[in-house]
Amino acid sequence: MQDIKAIIPAKEKWCSIVWQVNDWCNFRCSYCNEWNWAGRNKNEEPDEIATIVDTLERIIDQYQAKGYRYFKLFLSGGEPTFWKGLIPVVNTFREKVEWPGSCVGINTNFSKSLDWWKAHHHLFEDIVATYHPEFSKEKQYIEKYQFLQDKKNYLCSRVMMQKENFQQCIDFSEKLKSQCKNYIIEYAPVYDEMKPSSEPYHYEEQWHIDWLKNNSFEQQQKIPVKKQKNYSYARMWLEDNTIVPIRTNDIIVYEKNFFKGWYCNIHESLHIHPNGNITQASCGVGPIVGNIKRGEFDQTSTEGVWCPKNHCHCAADFNISKSRPEYVNEIR
């Protein structure tokens, strides 16, 4: 993969809201830190949910007043499909923002029943269904994928390539490909303990590294041309001056997520944490601009930052417009 000069927007002015709605999960994956599943912030009390919905409306109002037309809401956890506030939050978002052009996405372990997905899939344009080799039930997973495969703008099977179960992950993906007519598969290097400061696993076996690089995201797609849609909100400006849709997994696999010293428009993205804190981006560089559980939000800054972090750990943050110093005027 070529070096990147800049990440640039693919749409008119848009805002990304990445939201860890809770920190409870029904899986207990060995590579996942307990603060992602222990349930210290379930955020399920009726008064909490009412305040959360009201604050979400004010967030959208503030960004719309600044000229933002489109919004992408991406929900994760914990496991968001078990959160009691999921339906009212998504319904409120869908009523407030401009369509077409906006988007609701969800990152899920896909453990909810097929009946649940039949009843609620219409809430989401994009679904990232993660496969976890220690807990996912392959037969049920594939049945749900088959049901959704031609109903979504973007449906991706994100296979968590745990080094101890690497071959199992490959075998599962082959089953999925053989049993589904449409598929997108992303082979995700597993981060050490899945925490913000973590580094990706350094796979001891060379064949693991080689396999990941030889089986990139774009090689594992089978989608009819008429079904393909522009689901990317960002583009990569590459060293040879070509501009292509962003491929977040390739950025990780080929270690292109080292943006220290780049100029980053972190105000384009909000990260809502399980404790309710709202920050610019998820990296911790931006300030806290509110708390959705307490009804607080005041986003006044539209300034970017010169990135001080060694590497960018969150795929959602890759989509924020950013550039090397010599190209900063292209994104300001």
Per DSSP, the residues of 132-176 read: -TTT--HHHHHHHHHHHTTT-SEEEEEEEE-GGGHHHHHHHHHHH
Task: Say if residue 328's pLDDT is above 50.
Answer: yes
Q: How confident is the model at residue 302 (pLDDT cuts 50, 70, 90)?
A: confident
The answer to whether the pTM exceeds 0.85 is yes
**What is the model's pLDDT at position 228?**
44
Q: Please give the distance of CA 23 from its chain centroid, rounded to a whole number.
A: 16
Structure confidence at residue 36 (pLDDT): 86
Q: Return the SS3 of 288.
A: strand
Nearest CA-CA partner of 317 in 248, 227, 223, 219: 248
Which CATH code is given to the segment(s) 13-231+265-302? 3.20.20
Cα 296 to Cα 293: distance, rounded to the nearest angstrom:
8
Work out the mean pLDDT of the chain and round it to a whole number.
89
Q: Output 130 or 196, whichever has higher pLDDT.
A: 130
Q: What residue segments make up the domains of the chain, in order of their start? A: 13-231+265-302
Beta bridge partners of 264: 305, 322
Please state the rounded mean pLDDT for residues 151-164.
94
The one-letter amino acid at 298: D
What is the token pair recorded at 319? 């989509």
Helix and strand tally (H, E) in the chain? Answer: 8, 17
**Helix residue ranges per DSSP H, 12-70:** 46-65
172-201 average pLDDT score: 79
Q: Give the pLDDT mean for 313-325.
A: 86
Q: Using one digit for the tens of pLDDT, what is the confidence trace for 216-249?
A: 766 677 776 445 454 567 889 999 999 988 887 7
Residue 264: count other Cβ atoms within 10 Å of its Cβ.
27
Alpha helices in 254-300, H assignment, sequence order: none
Q: What is the pLDDT of residue 226?
A: 43
- The answer, yes or no, to whether residue 45 has pLDDT greater than 50, is yes
